[in-house]
Structure 1
């Protein structure tokens, strides 16, 4: 499981940063990837990355500002040309389908796959046997959401050493024991398979927020997250500007991560005023409050081990 940052800029592209898009690769877990936001030029960024648009399963849109959605028409049509045939689901705020469908219709876009829309609101927006995705509304000029991806706990590992001490050799019985079944051994001894399985392995929790001012909803959604991806459009000297435009400073992001008990924080959505080494100010500001902070740049990845 890995986060791959395709665009890390705010508002408009710059020479160093394209606008917002981040992929969560789930190749080992389900052979797919999920995309969070799709700013203009995202399909170009994918071409310059190891990612494949044909692997896309879900796209989650945080809000409908252009720097988060203008890349959708191009990416959706390119996915057809690149061999994408499996269904693709778009999750997003009310208005996403109404905004996108006329563009696809009037441009006579041909999609070789089924495109599905799922309108999000507060609460659980997706769940299967491996993942649950929760959604909360944040504090922005328009409806903006954050997504919490929760990997469900995995079964504990089979304690082969304990089986060996009981004189149980490797073989077909191991499979039944690993499933926690009650098993009768050749000598007539009956054992409970559950007693040979370790504790469940906790699943990962990843939180990706849309644009927002500092707010309680962000803290609650990010509770105990393994990774929190948070916008940091400005440094704290521009706090009034951040408040005016409903954005966060790097200090705001660090305070949210600290209050939420997150394990790591990644800053993104960086204003174009922070060119070259200027972005280091944002990182330093956040690390003073929350040391386990990184600042994303385009084509940078973060492994969630």
Structure 2
């Protein structure tokens, strides 16, 4: 399954010429045909106009916290989704207060949506599963920030191994319904009485991928637990290490804080985002350099940065 991260906005606090405020798309087009979004800062729908994504295919939105640079783009996005043919159900997850924000904005602006909207609010300090189906489990836990801020862990469930079609063909069988039954894990009996055990023709289970996207936070235990063994960790890096005192003052992280969290969690790839506007051009690259002194597999996100999350091997 093709899973891709697409960064619509990577700035902190307020937009700059180089970076819009926070929003990330998770594309799952190959199998589900939808997008999930994480945060929706002001101007997000404008960023989408320059991105290969469609609002109409947006299925879920996960809000990490209620600061404006993560939230102010939501009313416009919801209205545009309706105008652009989005008629399927849309679910918003976020801290307590997101319902009041959405309902007030839509009521005051007299906006009418052509689709069903469900809002799931997370109570302060809430920890656990927020969504689960036969493919994914999404968990959340509180972080350490000036207001209630959550991180999300998206875990793909293990997938069945691949059918060894060549092994079946070696028995003189041709592809068809029988192959399909075995692929489903069903034992079959051939006309001559030969019994085929499905498990002998199916490869080992394929482990699911794990993606962790954190809201604004100081280093904390939940950041590490949410990122445990993650293939990809998306972590804020608002400041460089020499501004550590500001990071502590405003409940943010430095690039090195993010790298230490990735290391402690045993995460694979670390992607830095939520970059302060004080770091422009080459200055921003310094954040990546700092983090790589601790966690080598680190990337600095920029607006319209794409990252594929490859399937795990058995």
CA shift, 1:194, in A, is 1.6
Pair 1:116-2:121 in alignment: no
Distance (Å, rounded) in 2 between the aligned partners of 1:200 and 1:117: 35
**CA distance, structure 1, for counterparts of residue 40 and residue 215 of structure 2:** 12
Unaligned runs of 5+ in 2: none
Judged with a 3 Å threshold, the aligned counterparts in structure 2 of structure 1 residues 171 and 84 are, in CA distance, closer, same or farther, namely closer
TM-score under structure 1 normalisation?
0.98
- Residue of structure 2 aligned with 1:262, choices 238, 248, 267: 267
Report the Cα distance in structure 2 between the residues aligned to 1:18 and 1:234, rounded to whole angstroms: 17
User: What is the rounded CA distance, in whole Å, between the counterparts of 2:249 and 2:261 in structure 1?
Assistant: 19
| More divergent stretch after superposition (15-24 vs 150-159) | 150-159
Any idea what SS the aligned residue of 2:154 has?
strand
Shift of 1:126: 0.2
Q: Secondary structure at the match of 2:293?
A: helix
- Tell me the distance in 2 between the aligned counterparts of 1:177 and 1:100: 48
Residue in structure 2 matched with residue 24 of structure 1 by the alignment: 26
Offset at 1:178? 1.2
Which among 131, 134, 142 is matched to residue 129 of structure 1?
A: 134
Deviations 1:224-270 (A, max 9, x none): 00100000000111111101100000000000001101110000000
2:204 match: 199
Note the C-alpha offset of 1:110: 1.3
For residues 184 and 288 of structure 1, what CA distance do their matches in structure 2 show? 59
- Structure 1 residue ranges without an equivalent (≥5): none
C-alpha separation between the residues in 1 aligned to 2:19 and 2:233?
A: 20
| Equivalent residue for 2:276, pick from 271, 274, 277 | 271
How far is 1:163 from its partner?
2.1
What does residue 187 of structure 1 align with? 192
- CA RMSD of superposed structures (Å): 1.0
Work out which of the residue numbers 87, 90, 98 in structure 2 matches 1:88.
90
Shift of 1:168: 3.4
Using the TM superposition, give the Cα deviation of residue 172 of structure 1 relative to its aligned residue in structure 2, in angstroms: 2.8
> What TM-score comes out, normalization by structure 2 length?
0.95
Displacement of 1:143 in angstroms is 0.4
Is 2:177 the counterpart of 1:172? yes
Q: Report deviation, 1:80.
A: 1.1
Residue of structure 2 equivalent to 1:73: 75
Task: State how far apart, in whole Å, the 1-side matches of 2:83 and 2:39 are.
Answer: 21
Alignment-derived partner of residue 4 in structure 1? 6
- Assess, with a 3 A threshold, how the Cα gap between structure 1 residues 169 and 29 changes in structure 2: closer, same or farther: closer
Residues of 2 paired with 1:171 and 1:186: CA distance? Answer: 15
Within 5 Å, which residues of 2 pair with 1:214-225? 214-225=219-230
